[in-house]
Chains A and B, each alone.
Chain A
Amino acid sequence: MTTSGGPLLVAALLLPLAAMLAAFVLGRAQAPRVVACALPVGLLLALAILADLLCSGEALVYLLGAWQPPLGIALRADGLSAAMLLTTTVVLGVVAWFAWGDFAQPANAPEARQPLMFWVLLPAVWLALNTVFLANDLFTLYVALELLTFAAVPLVCLEGRPETLRAALRYLLFALLGSVLYLLGAVLLYGVYGTLDIAQLSTRVHPGVATWAAAVLMTVGLLAKTALFPLHLWLPPAHAGAPAAASAMLSALVVKGSFFLVIRLWLDVLPGEMMLEAGQWLAGLGAAAILVGNLVALRQRRLKLLIAYSTVAQIGYLFLMFPLAAGLVGMGLSDAPAVTGGLLQAVSHATAKAAMFMAAGLIYSTLGHDRIEDLQGVAQQLPMTVLAFALGGVALVGLPPSGGFMAKWLLLSAALTTGQWWWAAVMVIGGLMTASYVFSVVVRTIVAVDPEKMPKMAVPRYREASVLALAIFSFLLGCVALLPFEVVQVGRLGSVLP
């Protein structure tokens, strides 16, 4: 049944679509304004969906054309979707604010491809992510994943340099292999259970050879897109080579799209006893990602590559939630702490990493390079930017009151409750390694140098302010602990709970 808030979900898809088409048709001069008008409306929509969800206590559903699944297609928003919708809109809003200077050119300049494409691709990423969060059948999710890839790959090579083109091509090939494996798994599930609708699958799926084969194929495909170790090889060159605003979108949001699907698959579609077995493997890869990603990040000499490898490590934390959730359910407890921790880690990383990439972009455009050993004096020149970088770093390390602290605290306590201390150890070691590379960058920037020697390139204040605003948001995110906690539990499909 379509719920009363259902039309909001359609609006959340139509708005970015309309913005994307309008930006493309109206051209470079108007495109930034179109996006700037659409994003606040999108924020209101996301808040309305969240409010409706909290008031009714049930998931929002919209049946397209009033056709029931499995023949019809349903849109569905639960607590996880609403939280991710809100995060996406906030991060994209700040990225657009930041990119105003890079990509909004004077009206008398000749029509350039790069700015127009940026302002078309930003709503395209938004549309694809909203579809990932709201779609409720495996095939629509496949199309949404492909849309996300097609929007993200051109962002990597906006500047058109050979090395970025190569990074984009490598990313595309990884992503295509990932999505075709996902599609194969989805067809297998359809062949066995006769439906693609997630709500229907969650009641029908039971462990078996075909289900395991489908689960493994879909998961491996999604891991290639999420860049979980050892399928992370495409990520650092792709994310570090893109322009700062594009890197922020790619690192903060695009990898979360496929991760969200991993959550949907294991928490909603597949039965809990399968997660109990597979969770250890997923988290094992996550732990390897944390250790390897942080270790390689420590050895980087360039700031953007350091941040990109830090993304590889932070993606690892996301996957620690699976054995913890399975363990909690196995003990007859609610899996809410683990799921909330995982989701909060995704939101916290999205905001912090976007802020850090944009801060690195400002440092790059001021100094003309981003070599870590030559960052002395940046804090004199760009105090707000360095503060934003440090606050983002604090959120990654997980110091209170940042969102990263809340996320890691929830995951740590879930690990100790379920007696899986080894995941707790990995989290603590990873936090120390993160602290050391964030610290080594910040310490270099605050070394004072003779002001005469600094380049005089000025960065507009509003761009520094945009980065700082996002970093402060990420820093204070831990305060959501003061809110009622059950947001992510609203409208969860009951397959995991005993």
Chain B
Amino acid sequence: MDKTLYKNVFVFAEQRGGVVQNVAFELIGKASELAASLGEKVVALLLGHEIEQQARLLIEYGADEVICIDHPYLKDYLTEQYSQAVYQAIMEYKPSVFLIGATTIGRDLGPRLSARLNTGLTADCTKLEISENKELLMTRPAFGGNLMATIICSDHRPQMSTVRPGVMQKAERQTGRKGEIIRMPVKFDESKFKVRLKETVKENKGLVDITEARILISGGRGVGSKEGFSKLQEMAEVLGAEVSASRAVVDAGIIDHDRQVGQTGKTVRPDLYFALGISGAVQHLAGMEESDYIVAVNRDKTAPIFKVADLGIVGDVSKIVPLLTERLKKEIQEK
């Protein structure tokens, strides 16, 4: 394959319900850095129906061009419809790099496309850089986060990678930033449409497995009552986090066993773990010490939890949690 034919950093601008998802802006932020190192352009690929007004926003967040594929078939995500459209865009515009959000949509579309294009795909990258010889270096965790690996895709194009939401930072929005919007027509092979979307249901996913949560707000004896835990729940909702607990509060019947962290509960490794009012018995530490970043709040400054915490705060959980929830709300709104 002639790699010199492939240029520019493409971002799949995922939309749901006609709204471009945050992860797209985050990827554009990263793509701008990569494109600068390569001396190439950032191009956002936007698929949907009556979606063009969203293209402006992508430009304001850093896209130099937006390729807009507007078609009734693309209103809601369906694997084959989207694969056909994106495939045609890639064949026509030949990007060197193609970034996709590691969402349920991105993790469905990415591998399907990589097989259709016969190129590599690296999942859930946490770091992306350009090497001296202009290759994309894709770093990701492996073995349940125990090991990091840097992956390259030397002989195939585009170099494809998925990135989880929240991993990259979006750039500052520049109102009025100029960029080109290209409307691309596509041809569909309808005979391949074998899946029909019957129903989309939104629900509050309060009952997910705590081992899969990216952020855990964990409470112990220091949180005390059910009322105390309802404050943690509020904080969790702001952060898109899950609430978990130490054994003491599970045994006291304040919270269900399926949310217990520790040797007799679950082993968790979230990106962020709040240990609130948890002293940190060995059996609890065994279940959470390998979390990426641990914030502990406890009144007792000799509590063992502070030995594993990245950030330890001596203080009263009942005072700090409501204040923190308010501040988080503000920060996230401003973002």
Co-assembled chains A and B: no
